[in-house]
Amino acid sequence: MPEYAPHSHVFVDESKVGGYYVAASVVAAGDVNATRKAVRALLLPRQKRIHFTDERDDRRKKLLTDFARLDLAVSVYVARGLKDKQARPLCLTALAEDVAVCRVDHLYLEKDDSSFETDKKILARTFAGHEHRPHYAFPKAHEEPLLWVSDAVAWCYQKRGPWVGMASPLVSEVCTLT
């Protein structure tokens, strides 16, 4: 189980290619604003958000290096061999259990309209079994820069090979669920 610091904030994105990869970036509550500002400063002119799928390899490498300099850590939840409709709830439930047990204060999941209602039900059901219930929100990717770090790590894991190694300075834990 990942060790999320109490009262921290966790930012979640996923990749669904070649398995299901959920990346959860954790930032201490007191560092959230400064870390957001540092990530937002990495935008190129006219760029609304960082989306790893749209970046060139040289830019991806630079971004991973820049992200690794930030005071954050990423946990990756992996489910392979399952359909998305099975893998997402499995990963999200495991993540929700971990953040509740570790007393995380805020959980942000990139809003996916196709799974939004199901995601809310999974979180409510999981948190109902815990004394500590984090606040959670579903921002769009362009609204929350710290989702971009999770997007980058999830992308690296679905690409495999050398990309996993390049993301490794950011990753504190990998939880394989299948």
What are the boundaries of each domain within the chain? Answer: 9-176
Superfamily the domain 9-176 falls into? Ribonuclease H-like superfamily/Ribonuclease H (3.30.420.10)
Could you give the 3-state DSSP secondary structure of residue 26? strand
Residues ≥6 apart with Cβ < 8 Å to 33: none
CA dist., res. 170 & res. 119, Å (int): 26
Measuring CA to CA, how many Å separate 162 from each of 77, 117, 142, 178?
Answer: 19, 36, 27, 23
Could you read off the pLDDT of 63-115 as tens digits, one per residue? 999 999 999 999 999 999 999 999 999 999 999 999 999 999 999 999 989 89
Could you read off the pLDDT of 38-68 as tens digits, one per residue? 999 999 999 999 999 999 999 999 999 999 9
Q: What angle do CA 78, 91, 94 make, to 5 degrees?
A: 115
Q: Are 5 and 103 in contact (CB under 8 A)?
A: no
Identify which of 62, 123, 67 has the alpha carbon closest to the alpha carbon of residue 95: 123
Position 1 confidence tier, pLDDT thresholds 50, 70, 90: low
